[in-house]
A and B are shown apart, each in its own frame.
Chain A
Amino acid sequence: MIYLDNAATTFPKPPEVAREVFRCMTQYCGNPGRGGHSLSLAAAKKVYECRLAIADLIGCAEPESIVFTENTTHALNLVIKGLLKKGDHVIISDMEHNSVLRPIAKLESEGVIEYSVFPTRTLDDRRNPTLICAGIARRMRKNTRAVICSHASNICSAALPIAEIGAFCKRYGLLFIVDAAQSAGHLPIDMQKMNIDALCAPAHKSLYGPQGAGFLALAPSLSEMLDTLSEGGNGVNSFDTFMPQRPPERYEAGTLPTPSIAGLVEGINFIKHIGITTICDYERDLYVYARELLANSHGVEVYAKNHEGAVILFNKNGKTPEEVAGFLDSKGICTRAGFHCAPLAHKTLGTDTTGAVRASFGIFTRKSDVETLAKALSEIK
């Protein structure tokens, strides 16, 4: 089996991740932050260790402002719905995943906010940060509150210049919220240097952790500002009717996914050991090789090929994406066909009527896997 769907979730996980999940579940997984007994404190210690690891990885000022969530979507919903008030305007990019678009669209449909879409110029060969920021500037209004965008696309290798966008937002007093689902662990991130106010990411993609956990990292500007999305028990001050004022417990109601968080610690250790730059370069080399092989494959069209990263999007003439992905699956090659929960992005790339096939690489993808993909595509008549 050749797994080329790492943008959906990375697979396999490093053995140490699975080992730590098992170790947690069999040796120390009390309920963190609840009891005062040794197992509860051991679990709490592991959770705190993960907050420290994440904060160090992404340059978050305070590890206590790392809020654990179910996934990136949950984190985005938490910050979007917790932050935005009636009359606010936000600006999102034309490459956004539904995890950004849908909560924004819901708030708009309810008359709470308005939003504008700025062009990422993904298909523009002369694309540069200045032009992208100019596009944001043209859409600013007096009531614009925030810019919300993905760092890296989930359907191609395009990435946004978030350092420049962050600087722009700071200059104009806008909050900057980043969906790092496809970039955390794959591209360098520093929240403080990049002026990011909120960053959302999952455990289970390029951080090589288990599914079931994600996080919302908050800068001091936002850490106590958000309305809560859910309320419930958090282990302290049971007689207080309201959630506490400070993160992370303010935003963490109910039991945390401790085994997933424990596994995430090892995932972060894994990528730190290899180095994000090394991982990024490795995956980019695979992309370049794939692009070269697919370009020579009859009838295959690659989209947004001027961007080099971990994701390649393509179609085969005369076949639907589902037919291609189905054939590849019959050959033991896992890819994803369709619209990838990213209608805006497909519209930007011109694939909104057809959809496309996405192959996405990870640190465990080999060059031979790319060769097998190309060979299989050539067999489709």
Chain B
Amino acid sequence: MKRDSYECSAELGSVTEAMKAQRVLAAAAIPSEIIKSEGGRHRGCVFGIGFSCAQTNNVRAVLSSARITPRGWKT
């Protein structure tokens, strides 16, 4: 169940990719949670991370610098 404060999300892929993203975000003091979505256009389930929308720009920057490219964003 998603926390109310994590209303934004980034779709990543495997649970490992999601955990890598969570790890780099945690290192930047950005809280997040692992989520699973149906994927839709990604042809099956994917894992991603949920985060506070207030952190969207920071999340984008941190993931980009870690060379993590989300498949989609919900912001």
A positions within 8 Å CB-CB of B: 32-33, 35-36, 41, 44-45, 48, 51-52, 63-64, 234-240, 244, 246, 248-249
Whether A36 pairs with B43 at a CB distance below 8 angstroms is no
Of B14, B23, B36, B45, the contact of A249 (CB 8 Å cutoff): B14
B30 interfacial contact with A, CB 8 Å:
no
Whether B43 pairs with A235 at a CB distance below 8 angstroms is no
Whether A33 pairs with B44 at a CB distance below 8 angstroms is no
Whether B19 pairs with A236 at a CB distance below 8 angstroms is no
Distance, CA A246 to CA B44, complexed state (A): 17
A-B contact pairs, 21 of them (CB 8 A): A36-B35, A36-B45, A36-B47, A41-B34, A44-B16, A44-B34, A48-B16, A234-B14, A236-B13, A236-B14, A236-B45, A236-B46, A236-B47, A237-B42, A237-B45, A237-B46, A238-B45, A240-B43, A246-B13, A246-B17, A249-B16
How many of B's residues come within 8 Å of A, CB to CB? 18
B70 interfacial contact with A, CB 8 Å:
no
Contact partners of A249 in chain B: CB under 8 A: 14, 16
| Nearest neighbor of B45 in chain A, beta-carbon distance | A236
| Closest CB pairs A-B (n = 4) | A36-B36, A239-B43, A238-B44, A33-B15
Contact partners of A45 in chain B: CB under 8 A: 19
Contact with A along B37-56 (1 / 0, CB 8 A): 00100111111000000000
B positions within 8 Å CB-CB of A: 13-17, 19-20, 23, 34-36, 39, 42-47
Contacts known (A36-B35, A237-B39); A44 close to B15, Cβ less than 8 A:
yes
Contact partners of B16 in chain A: CB under 8 A: 33, 44, 48, 51, 64, 248-249
Distance, CA A63 to CA B19, complexed state (A): 11
Q: How far is the CB of A243 from chain B (nearest CB, A)?
A: 11
Summed over the interface, the residue pairs from A and B with CB atoms below 8 Å come to a total of: 60
| Nearest neighbor of B36 in chain A, beta-carbon distance | A36
Distance, CA A35 to CA B47, complexed state (A): 10
Q: How far is the CB of A147 from chain B (nearest CB, A)?
A: 29
Q: How far is the CB of A63 from chain B (nearest CB, A)?
A: 8
Of A32, A35, A48, A237, the contact of B44 (CB 8 Å cutoff): A237
Whether B15 pairs with A32 at a CB distance below 8 angstroms is yes
Contact partners of B36 in chain A: CB under 8 A: 35-36
| Nearest neighbor of B18 in chain A, beta-carbon distance | A44
Whether A240 pairs with B44 at a CB distance below 8 angstroms is yes
| Nearest neighbor of A44 in chain B, beta-carbon distance | B15
Contacts known (A35-B36, A41-B34); A235 close to B15, Cβ less than 8 A:
yes
Contact partners of B45 in chain A: CB under 8 A: 36, 235-238
Distance, CA A320 to CA B35, complexed state (A): 61
Whether B44 pairs with A236 at a CB distance below 8 angstroms is yes
Of A36, A63, A235, A238, the contact of B14 (CB 8 Å cutoff): A235
Output the residue of A36, A52, A240 with the most chain B CB within 10 A: A36
Contact partners of B14 in chain A: CB under 8 A: 33, 234-236, 244, 246, 249
Distance, CA A36 to CA B43, complexed state (A): 17
Q: How far is the CB of B30 from chain A (nearest CB, A)?
A: 18
Q: How far is the CB of B64 from chain A (nearest CB, A)?
A: 17
Contacts known (A235-B45, A236-B46); A64 close to B17, Cβ less than 8 A:
yes
If A64-B20, A237-B44 are given as contacts, then 16 extra A-B residue pairs at C-beta distance below 8 Å, sorted by A number, are A32-B15, A33-B16, A44-B19, A48-B15, A48-B16, A52-B23, A234-B14, A235-B15, A235-B45, A236-B39, A237-B13, A238-B45, A239-B43, A240-B44, A246-B13, A249-B14
Contact partners of B15 in chain A: CB under 8 A: 32-33, 41, 44, 48, 235-236
Contact partners of B35 in chain A: CB under 8 A: 36
Whether A237 pairs with B19 at a CB distance below 8 angstroms is no
| Nearest neighbor of A66 in chain B, beta-carbon distance | B16
Distance, CA A51 to CA B20, complexed state (A): 11
Q: How far is the CB of A196 from chain B (nearest CB, A)?
A: 22
Output the residue of B16, B39, B45 with the most chain A CB within 10 A: B16
Contact partners of A244 in chain B: CB under 8 A: 13-14
Distance, CA A63 to CA B66, complexed state (A): 13
Q: How far is the CB of B3 from chain A (nearest CB, A)?
A: 13
Distance, CA A52 to CA B39, complexed state (A): 27
| Nearest neighbor of B43 in chain A, beta-carbon distance | A239
| Nearest neighbor of A249 in chain B, beta-carbon distance | B14
